[in-house]
Chain A
């Protein structure tokens, strides 16, 4: 049915069974007790929606074919830095620099890029209590960063410096570093721990030893 024909005047001419047929055509579920007036309104609304959709319809292109490419873009042309916690000791940091920012950097006499690890006292703290800087090798766009021991919140900033100027290009959201229990942090291999037998049977000592072996850095 042409949506243009669906007007109140036209619908009024139809029998209830014809209206139900039309509703079927439009995929409207008609409950047993639905009255004619309500059905008529439903149909008018759908027809109006369809007209609106058609107006806002997309342009259909025929030249795109089926893109089966497996090449990924080099970047998204934006200046952006993100980080994902890899484990309690390392965070994976990756960034992009937009063409505009890159051109600006290249126009500077002598520029260098660095990651600034900002240690924060809380998740909503803006000014860092401690800052560490890591130089970025030329052309890099990702790096694993060692998390300073015993810290709870970090933010990573992508900064550039040229001569005496130093600016932040982008900064990541705050990453919360999960805190393990005090007995994990105080664990020393070879030192007897006073765990209840059921925890020993659960394998807590093996876990601690494993944790110490792999993440010693996170111990105080």
Chain B
């Protein structure tokens, strides 16, 4: 029996305003984190694909590149800011080389980081012509990569189950954005935070999606759990294919005893950006700048080692190889056991879901590990697969009625509606109800009203993003999240009042359109009641 491994990496970064006269401090911190995603995950992924292809490795990998991320990466201003970001890192690196000119170990480490930034700049500007989204589309066309579609922003769908127009709007915008970025339509739909509630499948299926991925709670805690458990896809009553994310993966990678905890890996929490005096951190940080990471991290996770530059890249690479071997051995055993018990199927599969930002922030070497896993899989009898290739017999799959659940909180998304962030709910629900009403009241408007309605729809989509609630709950970039939410709700309220009073400030509207320049082709009618 075939044993499949299906990797799916989900990246997500939140919308960041870069077109203000001066980028707000909260946005500038978030921008730093966004560019780290580009430097440490997105471009390295493309480089990994190139190496694997050059070595004749037939790799397959699933990706979720959400619309906000794509839209930002296609923005010329952001592209030029990324080059600026790399230049500043290179300049700081040169200063650091000077500081450590007498310490060979540290000097070599810094040289590596400087070279890495120079290489990233070359790749980004020369090889990829500043548009990396196009590169991912190329790999999709080659058949190595499957990019899944998702909502416009990461809305937690169960909270809007009684407002189907809101869910349709999110799915429709996600699909339109996908078409614009990748030139085709996706087969797979990524459910934000794996938030499932009965009925959602009807909306997803109505947009032509073939399958989605659920948390194991949704699949197993049903009256009749699937005959083959989480190891084979099933389908809903309306034939939406369902895969189950392997529940063991997260712990294996970043759990308390996960691979990321090895003392040979780099300590992601120690960065000179948080340690040196500000004047030594120019040009990345200026006087009174909020501190942020600079990418210059010299320490490994072994806290007993107090030397100046304890991190040894060669040791980390060797550790990643070792962890890849362990992963392959463990998966082979796991899938072999599943194959023994499986009934009437020709393959078993493990869907390995990786949340890029969650993993990268704790384990910068995760892509070295992943590449090693990919290179070793075939020899171990594991077949790297894309989900879309496994649902070709979609209409013959076993039917189940999935249970309501999520992949965050204690299993139901509780962290998105906690005592810290529940205040958001009344505003975002109200704005959603109002937007649906506006789409009905202004069914075919033109000119200024359309512009108002479109920007109102965009602000609402941004306010519906569940990552804002999550950041507030976890107190991680909570200032950014709160500000972003409040700005979006207030902008929506101005739109609503302007339409009610038939009065608008074109200055306000034009500036807002310029600042919140996502999805310029948005059409507010996505919120219309579907007839």
Chain A residues engaging chain B, CB cutoff 8 angstroms? 49, 53, 57-73, 76, 82, 84-88, 92, 94, 96, 141-142, 173, 178, 180-182, 184, 196-199, 201-204, 206-208, 210-211, 214
Contacts and interface: CB of A to CB of B under 8 A. Distances in A.
B487 interface: yes
B505 interface: yes
Contacts of A58: 448-449, 498, 502-504
Given A72-B486, A73-B493, A203-B247, A142 B426 contact: yes
Interface stretch (B45-53, B316-324, B374-382, B407-415): B407-415
B386 interface: no
Nearest to B340: A197
A216 B485 CA distance: 34
B273 interface: no
A84 B493 contact: no
Contact of B342 (A85, A94, A142, A198): A198
B504 A199 contact: no
Contacts of A211: 217, 221, 411
Interface stretch (B115-123, B167-175, B225-233, B298-306): B225-233
Contacts of B430: 76
Give the interface residue-count category, chain B.
35 or more
Interface in B478-531: 482-483, 486-487, 489-491, 493-494, 498, 502-508, 511-512
B88 interface: no
Given A82-B429, A198-B228, A202-B229, A207 B489 contact: no
Contacts of B229: 196, 198-199, 201-202, 204
Contact of A201 (B244, B341, B414, B512): B341
Contacts of B256: none
A139 to B, nearest CB: 14
A64 B216 CA distance: 51
B504 to A, nearest CB: 5
A1 B404 CA distance: 58
11 contacts: A62-B505, A66-B508, A68-B487, A71-B490, A86-B412, A87-B409, A180-B403, A196-B341, A198-B228, A207-B217, A207-B247
Nearest to A59: B503
A178 B225 contact: no
A94 B225 contact: no
B447 A57 contact: yes
B287 interface: no
Contacts, number: 153
Contacts of B425: 84, 92, 94
Nearest to A180: B221
Contact of B411 (A62, A199, A210): A210
A160 to B, nearest CB: 20
B447 A64 contact: no
Contacts of A173: 162
By Cβ-Cβ distance, the 9 closest A-B pairs, closest first, are A64-B505, A202-B229, A87-B412, A178-B404, A70-B486, A198-B341, A202-B230, A181-B223, A198-B229
Contacts of B414: 86-87
A18 B489 CA distance: 47
B221 A181 contact: yes
A202 B216 contact: yes
Contacts of B158: 85
Contacts of B448: 57-58, 60
B220 interface: yes
A65 B508 contact: yes
B504 A207 contact: no
B341 A181 contact: no
Contacts of B417: 84, 86, 92
Given A65-B508, A207-B217, 13 more contacts: A59-B502, A66-B508, A69-B486, A87-B409, A88-B404, A141-B426, A178-B197, A180-B403, A181-B221, A198-B338, A199-B220, A202-B225, A207-B216
Interface string B306-346: 00000000000000000000000000001001100110000
B131 to A, nearest CB: 28
Contact of A214 (B198, B227, B411): B411
B222 interface: yes
Contact of B220 (A66, A73, A202): A202
B396 interface: no
Interface string B424-459: 011101100000000000000011110000000000
A162 to B, nearest CB: 26
A46 B247 CA distance: 58
A76 B437 CA distance: 16
A76 B492 CA distance: 14
Given A178-B198, A182-B223, A60 B506 contact: yes
A68 B511 CA distance: 11
B2 interface: no
B159 interface: yes
B25 interface: no
Contacts of B159: 84
B248 interface: yes
Contacts of A202: 216, 220, 225, 229-231, 244, 247
B422 interface: yes
Contacts of B483: 70
Interface string B54-94: 00000000000000000000000000000000000000000
Nearest to A208: B221
Contacts of A196: 227, 229, 341
Contacts of B449: 58
A63 B220 contact: no
B338 A64 contact: no
A178 B222 CA distance: 11
Nearest to B412: A87
Contacts of A59: 502-504
Most B CB contacts (10 A, CB to CB) among A70, A94, A142, A197 go to A70
A64 B225 contact: no
A165 B229 CA distance: 56
